[in-house]
Amino acid sequence: MSGETSLSAITRRPDLSSEEKRQRLIELVVDSVASPHSRRAYRSGLEQFFRWWQESAHQEPFGRTLVQRFRLHLESRGCAPAGGRGGMDGFVTGVGSQRSAGSEGSQTSGVRTGNWLGREQAQQLLSLLDRNTLCGKCAAALLSLLLGAGLRRDELAQLRIEDLQQREGRWCLVDIEGKGKRIRTVPIPVWTKEAVDAWLQAMPFQSGLVLGKINKGGRFVGQGMTAAAIYGVVLRYEKLLQVKVKPHDLRRTLGKLAHQGGAWIEQIQLTYGHATIQTTERYLGVEQDLVDAPCVHLRLAPPK
């Protein structure tokens, strides 16, 4: 990368050809994320964007505004960006953060907070599960961990039975390694633990990876499940729920419902494993309340 630390620094280099700039821009944004799934989605979205930019001969300089224009272009045509909506949003976010890091005084706006379920919708999702079949037990454990622990797909795919331990009288997922190799312990609700227990009691294994594969005939065929297979399970129940929801939306739902219920945002940050509280605030779509503002709660009387 020749030491470049911002997108703007690369675009200003006169010694690089257009193709070299394109490749370096792609690598800079892709290298800003750790998840293999996110890296693939970012790269795919970037390549699709650059093709559009080249074919449409836009004179506007490369940056967040141009990328947002590209997304609006796709939406106006009813198209989904390569890598999915999440990949395109991540690309937009990456462009905004890289430009902010590389130019003094540049302004950034908040990122899209994404979708989440309301409390009734989340309850309905859990009620859709047929817990009398192996397939239903597996789905119940999977969805309950996404919704009750707020795990990323890769984290859930790597979750081990040994990670479920009690801490201070509560069941937790202990020492989960997330993005940036940050280690966290995630408390889980009783209904999540019960769903996992019901699944494991029906399984021939009691150690190693929590999830397993169930074939179309409803028979267990192997331990472990890929991140792509997890996505497929959520998609199946999305159709039954008739509400658009993806695995990461269930992760968002945990924080949103917990925050609405009175959980401290600092504790939600620890559950998510976010590096900064600002990231958690964007996840939750937290907005400044000018009516019930902090100053209202000072309870100070004016001087007489």
C-alpha to C-alpha distance for 94 and 223, rounded to whole angstroms = 36
Residue 298 lies in a domain: no
**266 shares its domain with 145:** yes
**199 shares its domain with 268:** yes
Closest CA to 38 of 99, 5, 84: 84
**222 shares its domain with 123:** yes
Question: What was the pLDDT predicted at 112?
Answer: 40
Q: What is the pLDDT of residues 201-232, one digit of tens each?
A: 999 999 999 999 999 888 999 999 999 899 99
Question: What was the pLDDT predicted at 97?
Answer: 44
Inter-CA distances, 171 with 126, 197, 258, Å:
20, 12, 17
Residue 164 lies in a domain: yes
Q: What is the pLDDT of residues 2-50, one digit of tens each?
A: 444 456 666 667 777 777 777 877 777 777 666 677 777 777 777 877 7
C-alpha to C-alpha distance for 110 and 158, rounded to whole angstroms = 31
Last residue of a domain, one of 40, 71, 102: 102
**145 shares its domain with 62:** no
C-alpha to C-alpha distance for 39 and 83, rounded to whole angstroms = 10
Residue 70 scores a pLDDT above 60: yes
| Residue 173: strand pairing partners | 164, 186
297 — pLDDT class (breaks 50, 70, 90) = low
Question: What was the pLDDT predicted at 162?
Answer: 96
Last residue of a domain, one of 57, 77, 102: 102
Query: What sign does the CA torsion over 179, 185, 191, 197 have?
Result: positive
**31 shares its domain with 169:** no
| Cα end-to-end distance, the chain, whole Å | 65
**89 shares its domain with 176:** no
Residue 279 scores a pLDDT above 50: yes
138 — pLDDT class (breaks 50, 70, 90) = very high
Cβ-based neighbour number of residue 84 at 10 Å:
16
pTM score, two decimals? Answer: 0.60
Residue 140 lies in a domain: yes
**145 shares its domain with 195:** yes
Residue 269 lies in a domain: yes
**269 shares its domain with 160:** yes
C-alpha to C-alpha distance for 273 and 127, rounded to whole angstroms = 28
Residue 228 lies in a domain: yes
What lies within 8 Å, CB to CB, of 249 at 6+ separation is 114, 115, 116, 117
SS3 of the chain: the string is: CCCCCCHHHHHCCCCCCHHHHHHHHHHHHHCCCCCHHHHHHHHHHHHHHHHHHHHHCCCCCCCHHHHHHHHHHHHHCCCCCCCHHHHHHHHHHHHHHHHHHHCCCCCCCCCCCCCCCCHHHHHHHHHCCCCCCHHHHHHHHHHHHHHHHCCCHHHHHHCEHHHEEEECCEEEEEEEECHHHCEEEEECCHHHHHHHHHHHHCCCCCCCECCEEECCCCCEEEECCCHHHHHHHHHHHHHHHCCCCCHHHHHHHHHHHHHHCCCCHHHHHHHHCCCCHHHHHHHHCCCCCCCCCHHHHHCCCCCC
Rg (CA), the chain: 22
**280 shares its domain with 173:** yes
Q: What is the pLDDT of residues 156-190, one digit of tens each?
A: 999 999 999 999 899 999 999 988 888 999 999 99
Angle at 275 between CA 193 and CA 280, to 5 degrees: 70
Residue 143 lies in a domain: yes
Residue 234 lies in a domain: yes
**130 shares its domain with 209:** yes
Residue 150 scores a pLDDT above 80: yes
Domain that holds residue 66: 7-102
Pairing of strands 170-177, 183-187: antiparallel
110 — pLDDT class (breaks 50, 70, 90) = very low
What lies within 8 Å, CB to CB, of 221 at 6+ separation is 213, 214, 215
**66 shares its domain with 149:** no
- The tally of domains found in the chain comes to 2
Question: What was the pLDDT predicted at 140?
Answer: 94
Residue 108 lies in a domain: no
For tokens 């497929």, name the residue.
Answer: 232
C-alpha to C-alpha distance for 149 and 251, rounded to whole angstroms = 8
**160 shares its domain with 232:** yes
Question: What was the pLDDT predicted at 245?
Answer: 87
